[in-house]
A = this chain, B = another copy of it.
Amino acid sequence: MVFSHTEGGKMQSDWTVSDSDGTPFTPLVVLELAHDANAEAVQWLLSRIRDKQQDGGSELLVEQLLAGGPDGEKGNPNVLLVGSSLRRLLDGAEDVGLFKEFNDGSMRGFTYSNRDNFKDFQEDGDGFLSVAECQYIIKHELDTLRARDEANVPGYPKAKLYPGKSIIRRLQSKSILLQVFPLHDKEELKRLSFSWYKKVRLSFQPLDVIRHYFGEGLALYFGFLEYFTLAMVPMALIGIPYYLWDWEDYDKYVLFAVFNLVWSTVFLEVWKRTSASLAYGWGTLSRQKAFEEPRAGFHGVLGFNPVTGREEPIYPNSRRQLRIYLVSVPFVVLCLYLSFCIMMVYFDMETWCLALYELEPNFWTGVLLFVPSIIYAVIIEVLNLLYRYAAEFLTDWENYRLESSYQNHLVLKVLVFNFFNCFASLFYIAFVMQDMVLLRQSLATLLITSQILNQIMEAFLPYWLQRRRNKKAHRRLQKVAKKEQELPLPQQVLLESDMSTYLGTFDDYLEQFLLFGYVSLFSCVYPLAAVLVVLNNITEVYSDAFKMCCVFKRPFADPASNIGVWQLAFETMSVIAVVTNCALIGLSPQVKAYFPESDTQLILLVVCVEHILLASKFILAFVIPDVPKPIQIQLARLEFESLEALKKKKILETSSTSDK
């Protein structure tokens, strides 16, 4: 038996199965093959997974799940449970370059030979790796399980293989393998959810526990969410009096805007440092990225990869460029135009309602005034959703070799459209119509509506679906009276395989990005936006935590060391915010009143201030170091030590050879 909880030390005793040669193991990862998968292929896959590493196998433990429910109902016979021996996992930890805390408190790359110098390594190393890390290692080992001399998957003549091709990727691209997912750990999950969201009290999130269970990528998202919410609090506090006493004094608005701009620069820079500290403590900061495999869906003519020298599909970049510029770009422009047309319809509706209200001002027409904004907000959300699918389809079709390029192009497409779709109407109202009252009203309606819709779409809808599934599973068992009682392993696996898949932090970051836009772009007109965002994010923490624990399949850990492209996106937004806020202040009648003779002076002044603010933003970002000093020292020390060790080794070698 291999696993214990690192905290409780309690074995997952009723969750073990046995390998073909009788070794009992804890199942960690599930491979769900197609219901009608060829038996020959399944056997071949099983043996390849079990094969020794020298023979090109994964050397993991694997077993087919006993099919069918207790009521004789037939389940999928091709569900494989994968586990591993402890020794194999420790070797795997070395393969993936895991960083762990050393005896002296620094973080170092784990090596098996040096295992006794790591802080939490006791006896045979049981409990040294978290379950999430073990699952990540198993996933990595499965992903790098390569074809040897097989020309195709046994039983599937069309599923071509060539030496070095990742078997799992090919099975996925041919839909023989439906999904790979790690299993939840009921005990640990219960403890996590209790310390995370099941108690209502003022405290930070248990980021280390989250990281322990879900991995670094998700923990960084929740860290960012918390940090971002806290960073909004000062803005919110300053914003409240503006709302309460209806301050229309633009001196104060200028102050508020300047504070916001400086604040947003500082907090984004400080976040970089915070995330570096977190990532250092989690060992992902200095961890080298493993060599990236081609995506499962990538296809092309067989050729030689110039980097690895391996045979692998090649897709010419020129053809990808053609697809981008001849199809994707026009499509995005078309979508933007469509969004623009809808915006114009919204303005027509707005005018129509206003005319109605002026004709007959009563309660109902007063309510009617808000209706166009609400409808428009709903349409925006629907468009964003539809566009999202289209963007995924297009980016897939552009056929990127690497997951990272795929993600970058997807993010770019989605960001451009969402930015335009959400904020175009506000820009139009602010700078073309120059109607500050409508701007405020429209901003408020858009913000509130999108928050409500998001919460429903993100948490309540999936929860409701999941509850139905859950109930069905329990009802199927029939013998259980109490809902809380644990399901036996096969039912638990089937239940989890039916849960929705968490598609990564993309949508969560996107939501925060848009909220940041609502707060910062027009902050001097609607200081209350920060208050709304803070309130939203407090519930967001709970609903996101809840959805991760109860609604979705457990995701694989993602060893992220920062929030990636989102840092750049937030920074770009804060640069745009400088421009919009300066322009808004320049447009305000109160400021204009200071320059009664000519607009020229006013505009020149605003432009000057804007340039100074932008320049100081860049200088500030340049001056604040991205990594805190203590961590810089730690990293430098490790580098120095490895250099010294190398030097000593070399001198010894030289002297021994010269002595001979």
Q: Is the CB of A650 within 8 A of B579?
A: no
Complex CA gap A308/B637 in Å reads 6
> Closest CB of chain B to A530's CB: distance in Å?
26
Complex CA gap A308/B94 in Å reads 26
> Could you pull out 27 A-B pairs where Cβ atoms are within 8 angstroms?
A52-B655, A53-B654, A53-B655, A54-B651, A91-B650, A91-B654, A95-B647, A95-B650, A112-B654, A290-B643, A291-B640, A291-B643, A306-B633, A306-B637, A307-B633, A307-B637, A307-B640, A308-B637, A309-B637, A579-B611, A599-B599, A599-B600, A600-B600, A600-B603, A603-B603, A603-B604, A607-B607
Q: 1/0 per position for A42-59, CB-CB distance to B under 8 A?
A: 000000000011100000
| Inter-chain contacts of A112 with B (CB < 8 A) | 654
Q: Is the CB of A94 within 8 A of B655?
A: no
Query: Residue A598 at the B interface, CB < 8 A?
Result: yes
Nearest opposing residue in chain B for A310, CB measure = B640
> Closest CB of chain B to A300's CB: distance in Å?
17
Query: Residue A636 at the B interface, CB < 8 A?
Result: yes
Complex CA gap A651/B141 in Å reads 13
| Inter-chain contacts of A52 with B (CB < 8 A) | 655
Q: Is the CB of A94 within 8 A of B306?
A: no
> Closest CB of chain B to A141's CB: distance in Å?
12
| Inter-chain contacts of A579 with B (CB < 8 A) | 611
| Inter-chain contacts of A654 with B (CB < 8 A) | 53, 91, 112
Complex CA gap A227/B607 in Å reads 35
This chain: how many copies in the complex?
Answer: 2
Q: Is the CB of A307 within 8 A of B636?
A: yes
| Inter-chain contacts of A600 with B (CB < 8 A) | 599-600, 603
Complex CA gap A592/B637 in Å reads 61
| Inter-chain contacts of A306 with B (CB < 8 A) | 633, 637
> Closest CB of chain B to A87's CB: distance in Å?
8
Partner of A308, one of B91, B309, B640, B650: B640
CB proximity to B under 8 Å, residues A492-512: none
> Closest CB of chain B to A392's CB: distance in Å?
23
Chain A residues within 8 Å of chain B by Cβ, number:
32
CB proximity to B under 8 Å, residues A627-651: 633, 636-637, 639-640, 643, 647, 650-651
Complex CA gap A49/B605 in Å reads 66
Partner of A655, one of B54, B308, B598, B643: B54
20 further A-B contacts with Cβ under 8 Å, apart from A94-B650, A306-B633, A598-B599, are A53-B655, A54-B651, A54-B655, A91-B650, A91-B654, A95-B647, A95-B650, A290-B643, A291-B639, A291-B640, A306-B637, A307-B633, A307-B636, A308-B637, A309-B637, A579-B611, A599-B599, A599-B600, A603-B603, A603-B604
| Inter-chain contacts of A53 with B (CB < 8 A) | 651, 654-655
> Closest CB of chain B to A560's CB: distance in Å?
20
Q: 9 closest pairs, A vs B, by CB?
A: A307-B636, A599-B600, A307-B637, A306-B633, A603-B603, A54-B655, A308-B640, A607-B607, A307-B640
Nearest opposing residue in chain B for A95, CB measure = B647
> Closest CB of chain B to A475's CB: distance in Å?
49
Nearest opposing residue in chain B for A614, CB measure = B614
| Inter-chain contacts of A290 with B (CB < 8 A) | 643
Nearest opposing residue in chain B for A603, CB measure = B603
Nearest opposing residue in chain B for A568, CB measure = B622
Nearest opposing residue in chain B for A604, CB measure = B603
Complex CA gap A179/B344 in Å reads 76
Report which residue of A306, A307, A598 has the largest number of chain B beta carbons within 10 angstroms of its beta carbon. A307
| Inter-chain contacts of A307 with B (CB < 8 A) | 633, 636-637, 640
> Closest CB of chain B to A360's CB: distance in Å?
40
CB proximity to B under 8 Å, residues A282-300: 290-291
| Inter-chain contacts of A599 with B (CB < 8 A) | 598-600
CB proximity to B under 8 Å, residues A589-628: 598-600, 603-604, 607, 611
> Closest CB of chain B to A357's CB: distance in Å?
34
Complex CA gap A291/B307 in Å reads 30
Nearest opposing residue in chain B for A658, CB measure = B87
Complex CA gap A150/B603 in Å reads 70
| Inter-chain contacts of A647 with B (CB < 8 A) | 95
| Inter-chain contacts of A655 with B (CB < 8 A) | 52-54
> Closest CB of chain B to A505's CB: distance in Å?
23
> Closest CB of chain B to A125's CB: distance in Å?
15
Complex CA gap A53/B637 in Å reads 24
Q: 1/0 per position for A235-253, CB-CB distance to B under 8 A?
A: 0000000000000000000
CB proximity to B under 8 Å, residues A535-558: none
Q: 1/0 per position for A64-98, CB-CB distance to B under 8 A?
A: 00000000000000000000000000010011000
> Closest CB of chain B to A204's CB: distance in Å?
29
Complex CA gap A558/B599 in Å reads 56
| Inter-chain contacts of A636 with B (CB < 8 A) | 307
| Inter-chain contacts of A643 with B (CB < 8 A) | 290-291
Nearest opposing residue in chain B for A91, CB measure = B654
| Inter-chain contacts of A604 with B (CB < 8 A) | 603
> Closest CB of chain B to A640's CB: distance in Å?
5
Complex CA gap A53/B307 in Å reads 39
Complex CA gap A94/B604 in Å reads 60
Nearest opposing residue in chain B for A87, CB measure = B658
> Closest CB of chain B to A64's CB: distance in Å?
27
> Closest CB of chain B to A122's CB: distance in Å?
21
> Closest CB of chain B to A438's CB: distance in Å?
22
Nearest opposing residue in chain B for A652, CB measure = B54
| Inter-chain contacts of A291 with B (CB < 8 A) | 639-640, 643
Complex CA gap A290/B646 in Å reads 12
Nearest opposing residue in chain B for A629, CB measure = B317
> Closest CB of chain B to A215's CB: distance in Å?
22
Nearest opposing residue in chain B for A144, CB measure = B647
Complex CA gap A40/B126 in Å reads 62
Complex CA gap A53/B648 in Å reads 10
> Closest CB of chain B to A472's CB: distance in Å?
46
CB proximity to B under 8 Å, residues A87-125: 91, 94-95, 112
> Closest CB of chain B to A110's CB: distance in Å?
12
Complex CA gap A94/B646 in Å reads 11
